[in-house]
Chain A
Amino acid sequence: MEAVAARPSLPPPWHLRAIGSAVRWLDGSPGLKSFGPFVPILLLWAGVAQAGIFPRIFFPGPWDVVLSFANLITKGILPEYLEDSLLRLALGAGAGVATGIPLGLLVGLSRIGHRCLWPVIVFFQAVGDIAWLPILLIWFGFGLATMTFVIVYTVLFPVVFNTALGVRSIPLEFTRAAQSLGARPWRILLEVVVPGALPNIITGLRNGLGYGWRALIAAEMIVGTSGVGFLMFDARRAGQVTEVLLGMIVLGILWYVVDGWILVPLEQATVERWGVVARRDVP
């Protein structure tokens, strides 16, 4: 060990230093922080496309996708489809959360609620969202009702499960403290149970939105007349591989937006502020 420590440390060669400072620069700027890790993937993609191993029409490079992006933006198709997809997600997620949290509270708090609802919830969770599509198409046809149902269905279960888990993990002493301070059951629900379960509720929300987003794209491919999923499926029909790839990239980026603009601020304002989960800025 001493021999190693005694060895004079040579400065690393210039190209390693250059890469090191580039990585530090990327890591330092907040906007690029998430983008940085994608640089090697993009380079690999561009390299393979440039090498001409596959025909360009089946394997376009990143630049082609950027051009296609600009084209669809100027035509107004992408903004319109994005708006449709996001609106459906918001509608479905809103309804899913609005039913999921009360259901989760009921299952988590009430023995009878648990006994009556749990088997039903487990059964329907196993059926899965896409498995509902055939019957939904027969009942509601190709429209918003079908898609909303699928998203609500997908968002609901993670929210219910995690809310119930959160309720059960609240320390008994919290409830006892509230009772001995004069809180009635209804106040305990609002002042102790809901905030106490919030870390788990947010986890459920994050999972639910993630699953819901994927379910929406699947539903749009099968049911859709608009939306990002429809865009991709339609492009495949027309042999527009660039648009298919563009759709995939948009899906990934949008998740960052949803997470960064909705979920992360929610966590920072609540569970991280209270110190009940680890803060992001602490290594």
Chain B
Amino acid sequence: MADLVIRKLGKTYFDLYAGRHVTAVADVSLEIHTGEFVSIVGASGCGKTTLLNMVAGFIPPSEGEILLGDRQVKGPGPDRGVVFQGFALFPWKSVLDNVAFGLKMRGVPRAERLRIAEEYVALVGLAGAESRYPTELSGGMQQRVGVARALANSPELLLMDEPFASVDAQTRMTLQEELTRIWEAKHPTILFVTHDVDEAVFLSDRVIVLTRSPGTVRAEVPIPLPRPRSWGRLVEDGRFKALVARVLALVRDSDPPTNPAGGQERSG
């Protein structure tokens, strides 16, 4: 396990449709400590997914650097597990084979990787569904597989890109509670990107608010709420409500005055 250090990170790309250069992320510096759960929130189009994609190594930064421990991030790697908004499960593999995929790629012998995969399938509450195929599962169950697949590979850092945005509201709350339970059990380092302020406050130790276009760090809000957390307890909790209100104000305040909230739908 190692700390994630991001220094003066920036991303500028050429927008073919607009015909000009666009700065999606500018001068972002932040640190995430081992075992910490940190969320990045911001309005749509604030560059939070671009930031996560750079940490994952999917796209190269234009400026600055990303360090995981003492290594510089260059391209994707198994030290950074990713949970995708669209699940990205392999439809031709069973639940168990999806979860065991990373271990297989790293040469873990079959018997051992299946044992580990079974353990993680059970951890996300899917025991009994090992031999089913992703298309046979609901969205919520698919994302449980996504989380198990990333965790089974024991990454140093878990990157989650709006992982619960495409499931229904009830399932989302259940998955959020499950995630806090898993985090308390395994203490993985998590960088979680979302536009849902309630979600960010509920899950995190610390919430980082990005401004919009270009995305820079506007504020960091520590979340000193006690754990274990559950919606049943927090929904009426005054401290929770106050923290949500504070983060929400920071997110909304980050909108340029000429561009009111909800006026721009591009995610990025």
Known contacts A174-B90, A275-B91, A179 near B76 by CB under 8 Å: yes
- CB-based nearest A residue for B136: A275
Known contacts A176-B76, A180-B56, A192 near B149 by CB under 8 Å: no
A173 at interface by CB-CB < 8 Å: yes
**Chain B contact residues: over half helix, strand or loop, or mixed?**
loop
CA–CA, A27 and B80, complex, Å: 55
CA–CA, A187 and B90, complex, Å: 14
Contact call A181/B105, Cβ cutoff below 8 A: yes
Residues from 237 to 283 in A contacting B, C-beta threshold 8 Å: 270, 273-276
Give the chain B neighbours of A196 by CB distance below 8 A.
92
A121 at interface by CB-CB < 8 Å: no
Stretch from B81-89, B195-203, B226-234, B242-250 that touches the partner? B81-89
Residue with the greatest number of chain A CB neighbours at <10 A, chosen from B76, B84, B134, B150 = B76
Q: Give chain A's interface residue range (CB within 8 Å of chain B).
A: 20 to 34
Known contacts A191-B101, A273-B133, A176 near B90 by CB under 8 Å: no
- CB-based nearest A residue for B78: A182
Residue with the greatest number of chain B CB neighbours at <10 A, chosen from A177, A180, A191 = A180
CA–CA, A181 and B78, complex, Å: 5
Known contacts A195-B92, A275-B91, A275-B133, A180 near B82 by CB under 8 Å: yes
CA–CA, A270 and B91, complex, Å: 10
- CB-based nearest B residue for A192: B90
Known contacts A176-B82, A177-B88, A275-B91, A184 near B135 by CB under 8 Å: no
Give the chain A neighbours of B81 by CB distance below 8 A.
180-181
Q: Give chain B's interface residue range (CB within 8 Å of chain A).
A: 20 to 34
Give the chain A neighbours of B92 by CB distance below 8 A.
195-196, 198, 270, 274, 276
Give the chain A neighbours of B88 by CB distance below 8 A.
171, 173-174, 176-177
Contact call A180/B105, Cβ cutoff below 8 A: no
Contact call A178/B101, Cβ cutoff below 8 A: yes
Contact call A182/B77, Cβ cutoff below 8 A: yes
Residues from 49 to 89 in A contacting B, C-beta threshold 8 Å: none
- B25 to chain A minimum Cβ distance, whole angstroms, is 18
Contact call A176/B56, Cβ cutoff below 8 A: yes
CA–CA, A232 and B133, complex, Å: 49
Give the chain A neighbours of B75 by CB distance below 8 A.
179
- A129 to chain B minimum Cβ distance, whole angstroms, is 33
CA–CA, A182 and B152, complex, Å: 12
Given contacts A176-B56, A198-B92, 11 further A-B contacts (CB under 8 A): A174-B88, A177-B82, A177-B88, A178-B105, A181-B78, A181-B101, A182-B105, A191-B105, A195-B92, A196-B92, A276-B92
Query: What are 6 pairs between A and B in contact, CB < 8 Å?
Result: A180-B76, A180-B159, A191-B105, A195-B92, A274-B92, A274-B133
Task: Tell me the B residues contacting A by CB distance below 8 Å.
Answer: 56-58, 75-78, 80-82, 84, 86, 88-92, 101-102, 105-106, 133-136, 149-150, 153, 159
